[in-house]
Copies of this chain bind each other. A is one copy, B any other.
């Protein structure tokens, strides 16, 4: 015979509320051992307390229900450990993101004293280049950018490329407006030859408004705002893709504050 207890008793034992236990039953995370077919009463086996204890701790660590389900269903201790470790790594990344967000807030609050960066105008000539493109969600763009930039720098060395300028990027406005869109990173070269992951393109000529952003890419909205303000003040019409050029990046220095990014927003004079 299995020893079972009522929801109330099980709630007191596990410090999970009755409402929470009902929810875990509903989503199939922790199902009572037996349900009285007449009254609908839930009966939990006392052995289920160990599952409840693990669930409570993983929820305290904000692990999603679906992931906890995987942990409970894990076949081996190693598999279980792997899933848990993956979540702990995820927490570390969250923590690092928070640390950087605090820095970004500080930067903003301190920047009021800074001289505003000037905006200029210029025509970017057409450029042949070797490019890596993707359709991506805005949340993932920073990670993709970091990885791909490094990859392109490595490619320059391994393929003996002679770059005719700094590595650049092309971003669809939809990326900012709708949180998803296409992104491209490219090395300008004389005669691009496609590789497994990079393809030859020609970056078209464009008349642009230009600004240089100094610092982390997390703060790049500051420069975008200034550029947009310039464009609005001069009654220009902004184009649907934006270019960036990485004048100083991770390949030059690990101190993000010294990074320099040139942002070029294509514009056309508005019809009067």
CB proximity of A50 to chain B, nearest CB, Å: 8
Shortest CB distance A106–B (Å): 9
Give the residues in chain B near A9, CB-CB below 8 Å: 228, 231-232, 238
Closest to A88 in B: B102
Scoring A8, A53, A177 by chain B CB atoms within 10 A of each residue's CB, the highest score goes to A177
Provide the residues of chain B in CB contact with A56, threshold 8 Å. 221
Q: In the docked arrangement, what's the CA distance between A228 and B104, Å?
A: 50
CA distance A179 to B14 in the complex (A): 12
Q: B58 and A228: CB pair below 8 A? A: no
In this assembly, does A224 line the interface, its C-beta being within 8 Å of a C-beta of chain B?
yes
**The one of B17, B95, B227 that contacts A178, using a Cβ cutoff of 8 Å:** B17
Q: Which of A150-200 contact B (CB under 8 A)?
A: 173, 176-179
- Interchain CB contact under 8 A, B104 and A4: no
User: Which chain B residues border A4 with CB–CB below 8 Å?
Assistant: 232
Q: Using known A-B contacts A105-B57, A238-B9, determine if residue A233 contacts B178 with beta carbons closer than 8 Å.
A: no
Given contacts A4-B232, A229-B46, A233-B3, is CB(A53)–CB(B17) below 8 Å?
no
Given contacts A12-B177, A12-B228, contact A108 B222 (CB under 8 A): no
Please, which residues of chain B bring their CB within 8 A of the CB of A227?
Answer: 13
Q: Oligomeric state, in number of copies?
A: 2
Most chain B CB within 10 A, of A4, A49, A225, A229, is at A225
Q: Per DSSP, are chain A's interface residues mostly helix, strand or loop, or mixed?
A: helix
Contact assessment for A228 and B10 in the assembled complex, using a CB-CB cutoff below 8 Å:
yes
Contact with B along A1-21 (1 / 0, CB 8 A): 001110011111111011100
Say whether A229 contacts B57, CB under 8 Å: no
Category for how many chain A residues contact B: 35 or more
Report if A123 contacts B (CB, 8 A). Answer: no
- Are A233 and B88 CB-contacts (below 8 A) given A17-B138, A138-B17? no
Nearest residue (CB) in B for A80 is: B109
Q: Nearest residue in B to A178 (C-beta to C-beta)?
A: B17
A-B CB proximity, top 10 nearest: A13-B228, A49-B225, A60-B101, A46-B229, A15-B221, A57-B105, A12-B176, A11-B177, A17-B179, A13-B225
Interface residues of A (CB under 8 A from B): 3-5, 8-15, 17-19, 46, 49-50, 52-54, 56-58, 60-61, 84, 88, 91, 95, 97-98, 101-102, 104-105, 108-109, 138, 173, 176-179, 220-222, 224-225, 227-229, 231-233, 238, 242
Q: List 18 A-B contacts (CB under 8 A).
A: A11-B177, A12-B173, A12-B176, A12-B224, A12-B228, A12-B242, A13-B224, A13-B228, A13-B229, A14-B221, A15-B220, A17-B138, A50-B225, A53-B108, A57-B104, A60-B104, A61-B98, A61-B105
